[in-house]
């Protein structure tokens, strides 16, 4: 690759290395210069620009990123289209992330221009969560170098997700006169929630005295009832391999494989098996919802990943969990790890629908109101919060969205136009949010896949703080805005949106290609609704 300042007559089809302002336009980094671009540069007084030119044997940054991502992606992994030399990998199911750190290191050792970053091995992940990213640093890399890293990826352990597999899980709690029933009940509730995060349910629950003979009978009862994985929590902590719980397991024909683990809290965990079915002797910390060593073992077992004594003994690095204040609850609305935290959405649903002649947001589309399609697409992103701005017929719109986890805010002066709705929605957002989508309530054809790609592209550290979709060279909706632009939006007036800010902050904009024209299709006339209905029926 050739890189440097070149005269304009040598820059046709070259890649612009740095943003250049040309009159009222901003030519952004990465732009492939056309003849018309060069003419505008010359007219603006530029005699040369800093560019990159690919040579024979070079592979462009996006193609290279996509190639490595596809080579390393394994089962239950989705690779989204590359942009700006980056290709992101996402989990396609809830489960445990598998990878070989040595392979990741080997890829990154080939050359500084090719990078691969991942979440930790054996990390629990959710469907749609980013698990890895490939970034090509320059505008291109040599084909031979790309072939080398792809060969490493293909010949070795891929990045994949072992899905959580629902199974019959049993819980036995032993009792002593000093142990309150309320403690046992609370422990059951905590266990139910812990398993729910792994797509599992507590199917069998038993209680018995803290006695090896009685516990042996209770274990047999649970196994006869079909328990595939058994959790045993003693009224008194296990202190030795000859204690009540291990003694009952051995009396049941089982084998104690490991007692103790280098994870705190969780030191007193016991791992055993009976006829191939795993048994976990739970430490006392399992009564708490806080993360502990039990989680690490449960996650792997429910994902059908074997856990051996050696595996547990190798959990010491990172095993000090005592300072973690609270257990992560991804199913309560937190944004998946690997994506920017605290992203929200404002959905504008206040307009009078004057061109439609009736409230367009309530029109039926494939069996549900049009506004529900927009909200349901936003809900697939696991955003921190979604605010729906009401105005015209607010009760009816709110009723249409009943049961959905959104907040409503009223734009009292909604008749003024879009600016009033936008300002009301932004003002209602939590101060903790770092960014927010602005979605139009009458645009139901924006795909969840596009929204996920926009979310993945947002990175203000890398100068991508305004994210918008394009199709056929034309920009559309929605737009993902960093919080720093909210103050400017509060100064809007009339029936206008914030499009002018995109021009003012052009250097902060990243465009994401949309595969269809859904980013332009607002349903605001009887004709557009009829066309939508015809498309849905075809």
pLDDT in the model for residue 410: 95
Q: What is the 3-state secondary structure (H, E, C) of 297-335?
A: HHHHHHCCCCCCHHHHHCCCCCCECCCCCCCCCHHHCCC
32-73: pLDDT as tens digits? 899 999 999 999 999 999 998 988 999 999 999 999 999 999
Task: Determine the Cα–Cα distance for residues 444 and 441; give it in Å rounded to an integer.
Answer: 7
Give mean pLDDT, residues 180-207: 95
387 touches 451 (CB < 8 A): no
Task: Tell whether the model's pLDDT for residue 534 goes beyond 60.
Answer: yes
pLDDT in the model for residue 335: 38
Instruction: Assign 18 to helix, strand or coil.
Output: coil
DSSP H helical segments within 412-498, as ranges?
A: 418-428, 448-457, 486-489
| pLDDT band (50, 70, 90) for residue 331 | very low
Share of residues in the chain with pLDDT > 90 (%): 75
**Mean confidence (pLDDT) of the chain:** 91
Task: Tell whether the model's pLDDT for residue 228 goes beyond 80.
Answer: yes
User: Nearest CA to 173 among 85, 233, 238?
Assistant: 233
DSSP H helical segments within 7-100, as ranges?
A: 35-43, 61-72
Task: Tell whether the model's pLDDT for residue 340 goes beyond 70.
Answer: no
| pLDDT band (50, 70, 90) for residue 498 | confident
Q: Who wins on pLDDT, 208 or 31?
A: 208
Helix-, strand-, coil-residue percentages of the chain, each rounded to 5:
35, 25, 40
| pLDDT band (50, 70, 90) for residue 90 | very high
Structure-token pair, residue 275: 């006829």
| pLDDT band (50, 70, 90) for residue 441 | very high
Task: Tell whether the model's pLDDT for residue 339 goes beyond 70.
Answer: no
pLDDT in the model for residue 60: 94
Between strands 407-410 and 385-390, the pairing is: parallel
HSE value, Cβ hemisphere, 13 Å, CA-based, for 133: 17
| pLDDT band (50, 70, 90) for residue 83 | confident
Give the residue carrying structure tokens 């605290």.
342
User: Nearest CA to 285 among 277, 274, 293?
Assistant: 293
Predicted TM-score (pTM) of this structure: 0.71
């Amino acid at each position: 690759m050739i890189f440097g300042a070149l005269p304009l007559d040598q820059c046709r089809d070259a890649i612009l290395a740095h943003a250049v302002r040309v009159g009222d336009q901003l030519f952004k980094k990465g732009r492939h210069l056309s003849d018309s671009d060069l003419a505008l540069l010359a007219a603006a007084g530029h005699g040369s620009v800093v560019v990159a030119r690919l040579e024979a044997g070079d592979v462009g940054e996006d193609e290279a990123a996509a190639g490595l991502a596809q080579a390393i992606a394994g089962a239950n992994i989705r690779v989204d289209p590359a942009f700006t030399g980056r290709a992101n990998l996402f989990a396609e199911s809830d489960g445990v992330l598998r990878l070989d750190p040595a392979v990741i290191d080997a890829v990154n050792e080939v050359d500084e221009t090719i990078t691969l970053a991942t979440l930790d091995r054996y990390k629990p992940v959710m469907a749609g969560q980013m698990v890895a990213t490939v970034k090509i640093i320059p505008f291109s890399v040599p084909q031979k170098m790309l072939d080398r890293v792809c060969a490493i990826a293909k010949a070795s352990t891929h990045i994949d997700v072992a899905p959580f597999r629902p199974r019959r899980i049993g819980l036995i709690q032993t009792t002593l006169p000093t142990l309150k029933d309320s403690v046992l009940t609370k422990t059951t509730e905590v266990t139910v929630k812990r398993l729910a995060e792994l797509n599992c349910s507590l199917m069998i629950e038993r209680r018995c005295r803290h006695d090896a003979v009685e516990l042996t009978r209770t274990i047999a009862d649970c196994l006869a009832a079909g328990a595939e994985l058994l959790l045993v929590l003693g009224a008194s902590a296990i202190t030795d391999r000859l204690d009540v719980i291990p003694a009952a397991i051995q009396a049941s024909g089982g084998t104690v494989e490991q007692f103790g683990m280098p994870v705190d809290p969780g030191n007193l965990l016991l791992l055993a098996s009976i006829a191939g079915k795993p048994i976990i002797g739970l430490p006392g910390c399992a009564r708490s919802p806080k993360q502990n060593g039990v989680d690490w073992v449960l996650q792997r077992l429910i994902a059908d990943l074997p856990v051996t004594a050696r595996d547990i003994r190798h959990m010491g690095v990172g095993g000090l969990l005592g300072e973690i204040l609270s257990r992560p609850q991804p199913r309560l609305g937190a944004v998946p790890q690997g994506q920017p935290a605290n992203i929200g959405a404002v959905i504008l649903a206040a307009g009078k629908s004057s061109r439609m002649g009736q409230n367009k947001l309530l029109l039926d589309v494939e069996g549900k109101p049009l506004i529900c399609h927009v909200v349901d697409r936003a809900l697939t992103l696991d955003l921190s919060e979604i605010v729906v701005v009401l105005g015209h017929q607010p009760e009816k719109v709110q009723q249409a969205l009943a049961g959905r986890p959104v907040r409503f805010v009223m734009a009292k002066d909604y008749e003024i136009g879009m600016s009033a709705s936008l300002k009301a929605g932004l003002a209602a957002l939590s101060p903790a949010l770092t960014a927010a989508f602005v979605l139009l309530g009458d645009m139901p054809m924006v795909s969840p896949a596009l929204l996920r790609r926009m979310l993945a592209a947002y990175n203000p550290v890398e100068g991508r703080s305004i994210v918008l979709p394009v199709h056929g060279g034309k920009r559309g909706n929605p737009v993902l805005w960093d919080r720093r632009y909210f103050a400017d939006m509060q100064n809007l007036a009339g029936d206008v949106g914030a499009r002018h800010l995109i021009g003012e902050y052009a250097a902060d904009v990243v465009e994401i290609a949309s595969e269809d024209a859904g980013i332009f299709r607002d349903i605001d006339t009887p004709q557009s609704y009829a066309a939508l209905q015809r498309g849905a029926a075809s």
